[in-house]
Amino acid sequence: MNKSDEHIYLYAKGWYKKSDNVMDDLKTLISYRSGIDGLHITKGDVFTVLLGITYKQMMEDGMTQTQFMNFVEGLNPSANWLNGGNRHDDFNTVLINQCLSVLRFVKMDAKTTTPPDPNILPLSNNTKWGENKWI
């Protein structure tokens, strides 16, 4: 995992509050990551970055054919409820939820991970940084 991607992982893990517009949240995180004003970040940019991070993580984890098939099957809107969505979500929402569900379960060491930053997005109220060794 690249240090520059850590806030996207933290978002997936719930360290940041999710707004009603996850696409805008991800644009903000990618803006911070890249130093590009969020006004210039497109949906296509969000998908390129998020899919790139997800693919790289799956490869680092030694993704099997079965795991890849599960990922693809999860893109079916009728299965989207497994990742916190509903059957009526559009494909973009389903794809984002599926990628975030992969990143959510990556083990990160709290001692070496950059803490969540309230200057990027509002923090979640459910946990305190440093309470656990692993996040």
Task: Examine the pLDDT at 79 and tell me if it is beyond 70.
Answer: no
What's the confidence (pLDDT) of residue 83?
A: 56
Task: Examine the pLDDT at 82 and tell me if it is beyond 80.
Answer: no
What's the confidence (pLDDT) of residue 121?
A: 95
Do the Cβ atoms of 83 and 97 come closer than 8 Å? yes
pLDDT tens digits for range 99-117: 999 999 999 988 888 899 9
Beta strand extents in 18-126 (DSSP E only): none
Tokens of 114: 């950059």
* Residue carrying structure tokens 């911070």: 32
Task: Examine the pLDDT at 51 and tell me if it is beyond 70.
Answer: yes
Do the Cβ atoms of 29 and 122 come closer than 8 Å? no
- For residues 86-92, average pLDDT: 72
Predicted TM-score (pTM) of the model is 0.86
Task: Examine the pLDDT at 40 and tell me if it is beyond 90.
Answer: yes
Least reliable range by pLDDT among 9-13, 59-63, 88-92, 96-100: 88-92
Domain ranges in the chain? 3-104
